[in-house]
């Protein structure tokens, strides 16, 4: 009986740690947001003020989709809806930061407009 209880305890511990490891750490989220922002600076010629604003927007986006990406990959419809809602918020926020010319260019570059494909 003790072995069964201990085995179930270990199984629960392993299952719990796997779900925790699926989410990105804060440093990984910062790296992803910084990488995307640096790419946008290069391609869209952002000013330093725009750089800071775009970084915050990208960070918020990556942070908000962090816990749903496994479900998005599996095709979960609710996760996909949340992903696209967050993507719409991000793109709308960028419209207020970028100039008209920069925003049109942003929309034309697929890997900026949809940085994480679902």
pLDDT at 8 > cutoff 80: no
Which whole number is the average pLDDT over 51-63?
A: 96
Domain residue limits, the chain: 24-113
Angstrom CA distances, 26 to 32, 74, 89, 94, stand at 10, 23, 21, 22
pLDDT at 16 > cutoff 70: no
- pLDDT category, 112, cuts 50, 70, 90? confident
| pLDDT tens per residue, range 67-98 | 898 888 888 999 999 999 999 999 999 999 99
pLDDT of res. 70: 87
| pLDDT tens per residue, range 40-53 | 999 999 999 999 99
């Amino acid at each position: 009986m003790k072995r069964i209880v201990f085995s179930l305890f270990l199984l629960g511990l392993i299952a719990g740690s796997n779900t925790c490891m699926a989410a990105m750490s804060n440093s990984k989220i910062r790296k992803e947001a910084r990488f995307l922002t640096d790419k946008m600076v290069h391609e869209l010629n952002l000013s330093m003020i725009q750089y800071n604003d775009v970084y915050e927007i990208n960070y918020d986006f990556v942070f908000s989709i962090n816990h749903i990406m496994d479900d998005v990959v599996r095709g979960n419809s609710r996760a996909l809806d949340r992903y696209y809602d967050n993507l719409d918020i991000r793109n709308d926020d960028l419209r207020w930061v970028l100039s008209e010319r920069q925003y049109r260019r942003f929309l034309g570059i697929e890997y900026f407009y949809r940085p994480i494909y679902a």
